[in-house]
Chains A and B, each alone.
Chain A
C-alpha cells in the first residue's frame, strides 16, 4: 500500500486559474493585487487593473429617447443607467393648499431682489413642498442576478431614489422659476390694456393692474433605469440625471383663458432649456481593509493615533481607499464615502459629504478624497459637455 502511494506521487495541482481564485477567496485575491510582495517590482493595482484613485471609463450620451423632454444614457465601466425626464403640468387649481399659501408665496416672490441666497431658499421650498421633482430609480430590470424583476422596489432602490431626491433638493439644481407658468390677467379697466397684456410686469404694476399669477407648474418626472449594474450605481444614476436635466427642454406654455387650461407650443424654437445651478458631480469611494475581520474583532473604537501606529508598526499598508468601486469590490468593503463637489470660478465647493460603515477613514483621507473628487469634476465636466 505504502509503496503504491510512494510510486504515484501525483499530488493534485493546487494551482487555480485566477478567475476561480477570485471567486473562492475574493478578499485574499484583491489583497494580493493591492499589496504585491515587496521583492517584486509590481505596482499596487486593483484586481480590475485600475489604480486606487482611478475611475472607470465613463461615457455619456444625451437626447436619444423620443418620448422624453430630456434623456441620457451614462455608462461607467459596466454599469449603465438610462434616465428619462418627462414634464407634466400641475395646475395650481389641483394644489389643495394653494389658495391658502398663495398670499405668502407672492410676498416671497416680491422679495426676490433681496439676494441670491434668499432666492435659492425660496426655490428649494417651493420645489420641495409641491413635489415638483419626482425621481425614481428602478433596479428591477434584470440588471443583476439577485434582484427579482416585478418585485416592489428593493431597499437599495428606495434608498438610491431618496438620495437622488435629497441631492436634487440640497443642491438647488433646478430653479423653481423655470418650472413656473405665469399668467398676466388682462387689465380690463385700464385703457392701456394692450401694454399690460404684453407681459410688462412693471408697467402693469405702475398702472395698478392685476398682479401676474402663477397658473401652473411643470413637474419633472425623472425616471432612472439601471440597465446594467456592476457597482457604484449612485454615480451612474446621478450623472445620468444630471445629463438628462441638462438636455431637458420645456415647451413654452401659457394659460388659455378661453379653454381654462394650459396650452403649450410644440415649436422647438419656443422651447427653452432648464438653466441649472452649477454642476454637482458625485464620486463614490470605498475603503478596503487588509484584515477582513477587523471590524468584527475591534471591541473598542480605536483612536486614530492607535490605528496609525499599528500601520507603521507592521510596515505595510492596512487600508486602501478605492475610487469608483465595481461590484466585486463593493462586496468586500464595508466603509463607503460619497463626495459631491462643484466648481465655482475655479474653487472647489463641497456640496455633500457622506461617510458610513466604519471608522477607518479619517479627516486626512477625506481631504485627499475631496482632491480626487475635484479632479473627477474636471473629467466629468468634459464628458457631459461633449454629450
Chain B
C-alpha cells in the first residue's frame, strides 16, 4: 500500500543501491556529454515499433512497443450523444438558445459552436494499479488536458478537437480513449502512452454525416467514405502541415545536463522531471507549447548512502556524533529542493527550438504510415 502511495506520481521506487545511483548520477551529469547506460545521446529516443488500425471494432487504434518489451494499445471509440444544455450552468440563456435552435431548424447557425472538454473521456489501465490510483489519474488528466486544450485556428480544425466533435447544435460525438499498458511499467509510461494515443487519434475515422443542419444526424454506412477525425486534406497551395494531436515528451535534468526519454534507471537519479506537451503551430512551422507539468522525481524517495567517514563498519572510523548533512562527492543523497528557472527554460528551449527534439519526434511520428 505504501509502496503504491509512494509511487503515486513517478513510477516505482527504483531498486538501486546508493552506490549504483551515485555512479549513474555521476556519469549522467558529466559536463557536455553525459554517458547513458544504453549509450544513447541525450536527445535520442528509444527505438520503437508502431502500427495503427489494429482493432477492427474501434474507430481508431494503435499499438507501440518499445525495445525493452513494454507495449501499449490505445483504442478510440466514438458515440453520438445528445448535447445537454443548461445542465450545469445557471444560465438560462442557453435554454433560450436551445429553443431558438429548435425553431430555426435547418437554418445555418452562424455562431460557432464550440465543444466541451468533457466530451473527450480518457481511461488508462496500468497493470498493478487501480483505476482510482494517483498515477493513472495523473497521466489521464495530463494527456486529456493538452488534447482538449489545443485550439487550432486552421480552417478544417477551427476550435480544436472539441469543436470537431460538434455535429450540430443538439448532437455531438463523445470520444472514449482507452489506453492499455500491456506490461508492468518499467519506466515512467507517459511517453509511450502519449505516442500511442497520438497515433490512435490520427487513425481515427468518423462516419460521414449524411444529414444536414439541425436534423437528427444519420450517417453514411460506407466505411470507405468515413472521414478522419484529424483531417488530412492537402491544401492547394502552401506547405503541407497536417493538423496533428499533441504529443507529450518526458524530459529530465541531471546536473547541468538535459536528457530526453529517460529509462527507468535514468529517471531515478533525475534532479527534475518535466512532462512537456507540444503540437505544431497552425500558421508556421514552429512548435507550440501546450502544457508543462512537473513530475515528482523518484530520486527524492531513494535511500542515501553513508560516507566512509561515518560508517561504523569501516575499520578505523568512528561514527560521527552528528551525521553531516553536507554533500560528499561520490556518496548518494536523495535529491532535495526544486529546479532553477534557468534549467526549466533550457529544457523547454531544447524541445521547442528549431531543429529541436520536438520536431524530431513529430517528424518521426509522421513517418509512421497511418491507414
Q: How far, in Å, is A154 (CB) from chain B's closest CB? A: 19
Residue of B nearest to A258 (CB): B99
Q: How far, in Å, is B135 (CB) from chain A's closest CB? A: 16
A263 CB–B CB distance under 8 Å: yes
Query: With the chains together, A263 CA to B92 CA distance in Å?
Result: 9
Query: With the chains together, A261 CA to B95 CA distance in Å?
Result: 10
Query: With the chains together, A190 CA to B310 CA distance in Å?
Result: 100
Residue of B nearest to A259 (CB): B95
Q: Considering only CB atoms and an 8 Å cut-off, how many residues of chain B contact the other chain?
A: 3
Q: Mark A249-266, 1 if CB is under 8 A from B, else 0.
A: 000000000010101000
Q: How large is the interface on A (under 10, 10 to 19, 20 to 34, 35 or more residues)?
A: under 10
* A259: B residues at CB distance < 8 A: 92, 95, 99
The count of A-to-B residue pairs whose CB atoms sit within 8 angstroms is 5
Q: How far, in Å, is A306 (CB) from chain B's closest CB? A: 52
* B92: A residues at CB distance < 8 A: 259, 263
Residue of A nearest to B98 (CB): A259
* A261: B residues at CB distance < 8 A: 95
Q: How far, in Å, is A140 (CB) from chain B's closest CB? A: 16
* B99: A residues at CB distance < 8 A: 259
Query: With the chains together, A30 CA to B92 CA distance in Å?
Result: 61
* B95: A residues at CB distance < 8 A: 259, 261
For residues 65 through 111 of chain B, which have their beta carbon under 8 Å from a beta carbon of chain A?
92, 95, 99
Residue of A nearest to B92 (CB): A263
Query: With the chains together, A259 CA to B102 CA distance in Å?
Result: 12
Query: With the chains together, A261 CA to B85 CA distance in Å?
Result: 13
Q: Mark A237-276, 1 if CB is under 8 A from B, else 0.
A: 0000000000000000000000101010000000000000
Residue of B nearest to A261 (CB): B95
Q: How far, in Å, is A28 (CB) from chain B's closest CB? A: 38
Q: How far, in Å, is B60 (CB) from chain A's closest CB? A: 36
Query: With the chains together, A153 CA to B314 CA distance in Å?
Result: 53
Q: Mark A117-151, 1 if CB is under 8 A from B, else 0.
A: 00000000000000000000000000000000000
Query: With the chains together, A203 CA to B362 CA distance in Å?
Result: 76
Residue of A nearest to B96 (CB): A259
Q: How far, in Å, is A212 (CB) from chain B's closest CB? A: 24
Query: With the chains together, A296 CA to B148 CA distance in Å?
Result: 65
Query: With the chains together, A259 CA to B96 CA distance in Å?
Result: 9
Q: How far, in Å, is B81 (CB) from chain A's closest CB? A: 21
Residue of B nearest to A266 (CB): B90
Query: With the chains together, A259 CA to B94 CA distance in Å?
Result: 12
* A263: B residues at CB distance < 8 A: 92
Query: With the chains together, A174 CA to B92 CA distance in Å?
Result: 29
For residues 274 through 305 of chain A, which have their beta carbon under 8 Å from a beta carbon of chain B?
none
Q: Mark B33-58, 1 if CB is under 8 A from A, else 0.
A: 00000000000000000000000000
For residues 102 through 125 of chain A, which have their beta carbon under 8 Å from a beta carbon of chain B?
none
Query: With the chains together, A261 CA to B87 CA distance in Å?
Result: 12
Q: How far, in Å, is A144 (CB) from chain B's closest CB? A: 21
Query: With the chains together, A376 CA to B236 CA distance in Å?
Result: 84
Q: How far, in Å, is A261 (CB) from chain B's closest CB? A: 8
Query: With the chains together, A261 CA to B99 CA distance in Å?
Result: 13
Q: How far, in Å, is B90 (CB) from chain A's closest CB? A: 9
For residues 318 through 373 of chain A, which have their beta carbon under 8 Å from a beta carbon of chain B?
none
Query: With the chains together, A259 CA to B95 CA distance in Å?
Result: 8
Residue of A nearest to B99 (CB): A259
Query: With the chains together, A121 CA to B307 CA distance in Å?
Result: 79
Query: With the chains together, A263 CA to B91 CA distance in Å?
Result: 11
Query: With the chains together, A233 CA to B99 CA distance in Å?
Result: 50
Q: How far, in Å, is B154 (CB) from chain A's closest CB? A: 38
Q: Mark B94-130, 1 if CB is under 8 A from A, else 0.
A: 0100010000000000000000000000000000000
Q: How far, in Å, is A285 (CB) from chain B's closest CB? A: 40
Query: With the chains together, A138 CA to B138 CA distance in Å?
Result: 26
Q: How far, in Å, is B23 (CB) from chain A's closest CB? A: 39
Q: How far, in Å, is B101 (CB) from chain A's closest CB? A: 14
Query: With the chains together, A310 CA to B215 CA distance in Å?
Result: 89
Q: How far, in Å, is A67 (CB) from chain B's closest CB? A: 11
Query: With the chains together, A259 CA to B99 CA distance in Å?
Result: 8
Query: With the chains together, A128 CA to B92 CA distance in Å?
Result: 31
Query: With the chains together, A263 CA to B93 CA distance in Å?
Result: 12
Q: How far, in Å, is B97 (CB) from chain A's closest CB? A: 12
Q: How far, in Å, is A286 (CB) from chain B's closest CB? A: 36
Query: With the chains together, A263 CA to B90 CA distance in Å?
Result: 10
Query: With the chains together, A259 CA to B92 CA distance in Å?
Result: 10
Query: With the chains together, A263 CA to B95 CA distance in Å?
Result: 11
Query: With the chains together, A261 CA to B92 CA distance in Å?
Result: 11
Q: Mark A26-38, 1 if CB is under 8 A from B, else 0.
A: 0000000000000
Query: With the chains together, A84 CA to B95 CA distance in Å?
Result: 28
Residue of B nearest to A263 (CB): B92
Q: Mark B199-215, 1 if CB is under 8 A from A, else 0.
A: 00000000000000000
Q: How far, in Å, is A41 (CB) from chain B's closest CB? A: 52
Q: How far, in Å, is B193 (CB) from chain A's closest CB? A: 26
Query: With the chains together, A231 CA to B95 CA distance in Å?
Result: 49
Query: With the chains together, A378 CA to B92 CA distance in Å?
Result: 46
Query: With the chains together, A164 CA to B92 CA distance in Å?
Result: 35
Q: How far, in Å, is A282 (CB) from chain B's closest CB? A: 35
Query: With the chains together, A261 CA to B86 CA distance in Å?
Result: 12
Query: With the chains together, A98 CA to B57 CA distance in Å?
Result: 44
Q: How far, in Å, is B354 (CB) from chain A's closest CB? A: 47
Query: With the chains together, A211 CA to B367 CA distance in Å?
Result: 73
Q: How far, in Å, is B137 (CB) from chain A's closest CB? A: 13
Q: How far, in Å, is A271 (CB) from chain B's closest CB? A: 15
Query: With the chains together, A372 CA to B196 CA distance in Å?
Result: 70
Query: With the chains together, A263 CA to B96 CA distance in Å?
Result: 12
Q: How far, in Å, is A27 (CB) from chain B's closest CB? A: 35
Q: How far, in Å, is A96 (CB) from chain B's closest CB? A: 21
Can you name 5 A-B pairs with beta carbons within 8 Å? A259-B92, A259-B95, A259-B99, A261-B95, A263-B92
Nearest 5 Cβ contacts at the A-B interface: A259-B95, A263-B92, A259-B99, A261-B95, A259-B92
